[in-house]
Structures are given as structure tokens and as C-alpha cells.
Amino acid sequence: LSAVNVKWGKEKFDGVELNTDEPPMVFKAQLFALTGVQPARQKVMVKGGTLKDEDWGNIKIKNGMTLLMMGSADALPEEPIARPVFVEDMTEEQLASAMELPCGLTNLGNTCYMNATVQCIRSVPEVKEALKRYGGALRASGEMASAQYITAALRDLFDSMDKTSSSIPPIILLQFLHMAFPQFAEKGDQGQYLQQDANECWVQMMRVLQQKLEGIEGDTVMETDSGATAASSKKKSLIDQFFSIEFET
């Protein structure tokens, strides 16, 4: 594990952690959290070459060295409108998209517990809509920083999943989850991530969303057997509103 400096335009980030036991894409995800530049748009140069996504090649990293990053945080230009494609001319990916098959998540090494939790949360329409309305940034500081960047990362991941039926690697969300809850970053003797409990991940993710997603004012959550409507007033959290139970005597 090394601490390096990253120069990006007029900005410089000192002491950025870099682990060469992990693929360069993980380090690029950290740079994305710092700069807002998507990993696909990053060009990271160091003495010896340019960083790839999958392996470090012949690049040697030394503690305290400076890396130069190029890339713009501006939105990518819109793709040109494609001409109509007939079913018989479609690829497998295009057919899957036309059939509205759900997007999958890549297993990044015993991360199925997190993937299952994300897919479960995504199946709740009210949570998806609340995340779309959430305006928090991926960069945050202070006591509630971890809750903010995990919520923002989940929002951005859902947005990406809505645009494709291919499998997506949830690298940024995984990195933020490890930063906020180090128990999920535990590794075995061979350096691989250990399997974790999906229920524990669910509990931690729901607590994060409980802090950041506001309730819906005047929303009808359920109807009683007598036909009377139990309309919830605006609660502190959407999670409390849709996932809690209240008993009356």
C-alpha cells in the first residue's frame, strides 16, 4: 500500500492511497470520487507509462511519487440518434434491451452479498424515485459523509443500470462501502475478499438510506381492514415510512 500524489490540472491531491494488489480500475474509482471524472475518461500517466484498467504492467509505484491525471468532469456528449434496427439484425445485447431484461451486477470477488442487496433495494419503486430526487454529491466531508457518498453512489449506479441490460461492475459503490464499513473489506490469506453476510449489508445500507432519503408527504402507505385509509404524515425518513411497522392498542 502506497501513498501517492495526483496532479489534475490546477488541483493536486496529496496522500492518495494506492494498492497495487488491486486492479488499476479500483484506483481510478478513487480518483473519480475526488475529481468527478469518470474512470473511462481518465488518462493517468506515471513514469513508465499510462495506467491501464486491468493490470499494472511494467509500471512501478513508489511511495510519495506524483501521478498526472488528464480528463474532463463535464458530461459526455449525447450519442447521435441511431437509425431503426430490425429484430433480425439485432445483437444479443440489443435483443435483451428490447425485451427489457434487468441489468446484472458483476461479482468483483465474493461481492454477491452486496449485489443481491442492491438488486433487492432497486426492486422498490419508491426508493428508486427517492434516489432520483436525491441531490447529494459523491464528494463529502463531516460526520454524515459516508451516508452521503454511499447514497449518491447507489443513485448513480441505479441510473446506469436503467440505461443498459448488460452487467455493470459496481466498483465505486463497493469502494465507498469498504470505506464506511471496513468489515466488508476483510481479505483472506490469498488477498481475496471474504464472503460477507447479505443481511448485514442490507441493514447497513438501509441505515444509510434512512439518514438521507426524506419521507413523502401525504403518501398513502396502506389501507386498514375497515377500509379507513392510514395516510402517513411526512416522516423523517422514507425508509421509516415504507419499511417500519406501528402497533396500536
- Whether the Cβ atoms of residue 101 and residue 92 lie closer than 8 Å to each other: no
State the pLDDT at residue 249: 80
Report the CATH number of the 91-212 domain: 3.90.70.10
CATH of 2-70, picked from 3.10.20.90, 1.10.260.40, 3.20.20.10, 3.40.50.360, is 3.10.20.90
State the pLDDT at residue 122: 94
Give the start-to-end residue ranges of the domains of the chain: 2-70, 91-212, 214-249
State the pLDDT at residue 227: 39
How many other C-beta atoms can be found within 10 angstroms of the C-beta atom of residue 31?
23
Nearest residue to 212 (alpha-carbon basis) of 159, 122, 141, 145: 145
What's the first-to-final CA gap in the chain, in angstroms? 58
State the pLDDT at residue 144: 77
State the pLDDT at residue 215: 85
- pLDDT tens per residue across all 249 residues of the chain: 789 999 998 899 999 998 888 888 999 999 998 888 888 888 999 887 888 888 888 888 889 999 999 988 766 566 667 677 676 777 756 665 666 677 899 999 999 999 999 999 999 999 999 999 998 888 777 777 899 999 999 999 999 988 877 789 999 999 999 999 999 999 988 888 999 999 999 999 999 999 999 888 765 444 444 433 334 445 578 999 888 888 888
